[in-house]
């Protein structure tokens, strides 16, 4: 069990990093919130706000803005990595010399590393090197940051192969509003966290085309089936897909107005200027779609819905036409 008052480093002061900081500080722990964005840190220090990423939330007094990476990481019981998936490896290399035995590293980014196709926990381990001393894992499940920060009832799931470390992280994060499930299926959790972003794009396309609830439910059920096939093929467990990590996160990401993946899909379905949207927004589903497409090349699993999204994003097929053709030609 963690000490009564743990010290937690949160690396990344975006919406999820700030929301988790708020939860953990409210649980009675000391939070060191680090970012490369000095304006964000200054506002947190001076005004207890992060209006850039989490508008309308008064931040807890136990959240300290930290400019130096070493000052955040050293002597922390739990280190939460909350940066975009494409920079997880670089950040991990930066903290590797600072780690000490007994520390737990919890990634909350959702995706695969471009080029290597590594899952996020694999990125961490690779960057730490053969002699690393910390325990690593990831968080998944349905988690809209602003709802978390407002203490609305919700649940997430943590995957760490070391059960004692998993219990420590759970005890620090969980409270009466935020339930934390645990699993040893790190592969399944991280693949669900990656895949749901791709399928949320497809669900968003339904919104752009105005296809209605029946069509969206049909695609959601098919998405879940394909997520299970891909996840199992890559070493995960099917029950993980049908719980918080898969079904829960897919529903949240595919339905929420706050989801950039769903919003991109909506623009694709409406035949709007979706490439301009990508110029100003990080959409993890695009990166994930390319990486998973390369991983599954060879026909190990049948994924027609995934293939349709891939065609629209990378083969520049007409979005409305692609989904209309898919719906017309698909059969069980």
Q: What is the pLDDT of residues 115-164, one digit of tens each?
A: 888 999 999 999 888 667 678 999 999 999 999 999 999 999 999 989 99
Q: Look at residue 86 in the predicted model and tell me its pLDDT.
A: 87
Query: Strand 7-11 relative to strand 30-34: parallel, antiparallel, unpaired?
Result: parallel
Contacts of 89 (CB under 8 A, 6+ apart): 113, 118, 123, 124, 126, 127
Superfamily for the 7-184 domain: NAD(P)-binding Rossmann-like Domain (3.40.50.720)
Find residue 54's DSSP bridge partners: 50
Question: Are residues 94 and 61 in contact, defined by beta-carbon separation less than 8 angstroms?
Answer: no
CA-based angle 8:13:18, to the nearest 5? 65
Residue entry with tokens 């609305």? 152
List the 154-160 sheet strands across, edge first. 63-66, 30-34, 7-11, 78-81, 104-107, 135-140, 154-160, 178-183
Q: Look at residue 158 in the predicted model and tell me its pLDDT.
A: 97
Query: Model confidence at 3, in pLDDT bands (50, 70, 90)?
Result: low
Nearest to 141 by CA among 239, 274, 252: 252
**Active-site residue set:** 196
| Number of residues that make up the chain | 332
Q: Look at residue 271 in the predicted model and tell me its pLDDT.
A: 79
The tally of CA atoms less than 13 A away on the side-chain side of residue 285 is: 26
- Asked if residue 1 has pLDDT above 50, the reply is no
For the CA atoms of 238, 242, 248, 250, the dihedral, rounded to the nearest 10 degrees, stands at: 70
Q: Look at residue 297 in the predicted model and tell me its pLDDT.
A: 60
Other residues' Cβ atoms within 10 Å of the Cβ of residue 235: 12
Residue range 187-329 in CATH 1.10.1040.10 = yes
* pLDDT tens digit sequence for 277-331: 999 888 889 989 988 888 776 667 889 999 999 999 998 888 899 999 999 998 8
Where in the chain are the domains?
A: 7-184, 187-329
């Amino acid at each position: 069990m963690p000490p009564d008052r743990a010290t937690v480093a949160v690396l990344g002061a975006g919406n999820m990093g700030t929301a988790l900081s708020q939860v953990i500080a409210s649980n009675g722990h000391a939070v060191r919130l680090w970012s490369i964005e000095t304006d964000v840190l200054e506002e947190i220090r001076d005004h207890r706000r992060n209006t850039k990423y989490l508008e309308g939330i008064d931040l807890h007094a136990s959240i300290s803005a930290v400019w130096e990476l070493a000052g955040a990481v050293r002597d922390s019981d739990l280190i939460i990595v909350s940066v975009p998936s494409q920079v997880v490896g670089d950040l991990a290399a930066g903290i590797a010399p600072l780690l000490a035995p007994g520390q737990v590293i919890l990634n909350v980014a959702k995706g695969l590393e471009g080029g290597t196709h590594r899952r996020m926990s694999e990125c961490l381990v690779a960057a730490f090197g053969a002699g690393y001393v910390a325990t690593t894992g990831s968080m998944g499940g349905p988690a809209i940051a602003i709802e978390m920060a407002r203490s609305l009832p919700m649940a997430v799931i943590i995957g760490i192969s070391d059960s004692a470390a998993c219990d420590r992280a759970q005890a620090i994060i969980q409270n009466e509003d935020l339930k934390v499930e645990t699993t040893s299926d790190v592969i399944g959790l991280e693949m669900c966290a990656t895949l749901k972003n791709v399928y949320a794009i497809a669900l968003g396309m339904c919104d752009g085309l105005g296809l209605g609830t029946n069509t969206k439910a049909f695609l959601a059920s098919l998405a879940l089936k394909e997520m299970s096939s891909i996840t199992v093929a890559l070493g995960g467990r099917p029950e993980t897909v049908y719980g918080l990590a898969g079904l829960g996160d897919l529903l949240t990401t595919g339905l929420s107005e706050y989801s950039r993946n769903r919003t991109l899909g909506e623009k694709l379905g409406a035949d709007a200027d979706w490439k301009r949207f990508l110029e100003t927004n990080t959409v993890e589903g695009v990166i994930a779609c390319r990486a998973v497409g390369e991983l599954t090349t060879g026909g190990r699993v049948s994924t027609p819905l995934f293939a349709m999204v891939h065609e629209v994003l990378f083969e520049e097929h007409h979005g409305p036409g692609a989904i209309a053709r898919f719906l017309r030609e698909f059969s069980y």
